[in-house]
Structure 1
Amino acid sequence: MKTLDTEHDLEKAIPFLLARAGARMGNAFAKALKPFGISLSEWRVCASLRHSPNQALSELAAHIATDLSALSRIVDRLVVLGLVVREKCDTDGRSVRIALSPAGQALAREIVPLAQHYEAVALSDFSAAEVKVLRSMLLRLYRNATPLA
């Protein structure tokens, strides 16, 4: 009786390796965010809104790869903290756009150098060319995984 598929090596499985690397980086950065009073998930929303302002909730959910119900709770908390605002869409009165408030913009500007530092540490023994290839491959991997979603 065969109990284990010996062809599958967890230590070489890309989803496992990505999740493990992401968890290590995310957990470390989450600790660094504590003094700012926001969680890693809240930071991801702020960073996404800094990159692409005035997103609909569905756009934001797709961009940060989270489900709408969890994102709605995160946005609610960020609104209470005064870091984001909900604005009615000019063209569609039913649609709401999410944007950073001035306080959210200031906080994001303050955190970005810290985020860049954490990324630099994680990439410290990669060459510039390797970083470029890694980014390209991760973007391609994400696009390729679209049918799996």
Structure 2
Amino acid sequence: MNSSAPTPPRSDAPRFYDGSEYVKDNSVGFLMKVALAVLVRNLEHQLQALELTGTQWHPLLHVHLGCDTVAACAREMQTDAGAMTRMLDRLEAKGLLVRERSSSDRRVVNLALSPRGAEVAAQIPHMLSEVLNEHLRGFSPEEFKQLLDLLRRFIANGEALGEANKAGPGPHLMVQERDPEQNDDSNPS
């Protein structure tokens, strides 16, 4: 068997979709993409109050949460270093971020929030939580926990398929079991 050929479906895998009857409006992938697009639109609208665009709040939050190099932020945000550098240029121009070359390795650029950047970044998780809570309006605590569990299982199945197909590295996601009572919903993507 060719190593680049897709792995055939397991015989015990459920068959929820049939290619001859595929309807995009019932596609889990399509619905997740639409859900993410609506969430991002609402987040961006809310974060305009901090004078941040959609491409600015995300890296600012990652630096706030501990990403201290350009490379680490690029990995965390699943983007390339060049795109990350352009995003960070804008944050630095706004006075929210400070970059400094490492004294021990000139290839490494260290990141830190300016005092103003720290103040702005500290507000982001609260605004994200408000928008996420609005999207979850009407969900019971049990449904919220179930949604998280189902998404984690969906991701784990996809990771297993990627490994079986030797698909190469995908996005590095920190998917862990969490207690929904901790209300850890600060990272939408």
After TM superposition, the score normalised by the length of structure 2 is 0.65
Map 1:76-115; keep pairs closer than 5 Å: 76-89=89-102, 91-115=104-128
Map 1:28-43; keep pairs closer than 5 Å: 28-43=42-57
More relative contact order, 1 or 2 (CA 8 Å, 6+ apart): 2
Structure 1 gaps, min length 5: none
Deviations 1:78-118 (A, max 9, x none): 01111111133354232112222221110012233221100
Q: Offset of 1:142 from its aligned partner?
A: 4.6
Question: In percent, how many aligned pairs have the same letter?
Answer: 26
In structure 2, C-alpha distance between the alignment counterparts of 1:42 and 1:137, rounded to whole Å: 30
Q: Tell which deviates more after alignment, 102-111 or 90-99.
A: 90-99
After TM superposition, the score normalised by the length of structure 1 is 0.80
Q: 2:38 aligns with which of 14, 21, 24?
A: 24
Opposite residue 145 of structure 2, the aligned amino acid is K
Please state whether the residue corresponding to 1:79 is helix, strand or coil: helix
Q: 2:58 aligns with which of 37, 44, 54?
A: 44
In structure 2, C-alpha distance between the alignment counterparts of 1:68 and 1:142, rounded to whole Å: 25
Partner of 1:6: 20
Structure 2 gaps, min length 5: 1-18, 171-189
In structure 2, C-alpha distance between the alignment counterparts of 1:60 and 1:77, rounded to whole Å: 15
Deviations 1:28-58 (A, max 9, x none): 221222232110121111111122241x222
In structure 1, C-alpha distance between the alignment counterparts of 2:81 and 2:153, rounded to whole Å: 24
**Contact 1:53–1:100 (Cα < 8 Å) also in 2:** no
How large is the RMSD of aligned CA atoms in angstroms? Answer: 2.3
**Contact 2:74–2:84 (Cα < 8 Å) also in 1:** yes
Partner of 1:128: 141
In structure 2, C-alpha distance between the alignment counterparts of 1:67 and 1:15, rounded to whole Å: 24
Partner of 2:79: 66
Matched positions, count: 144
Which of the two has greater helix per residue?
1
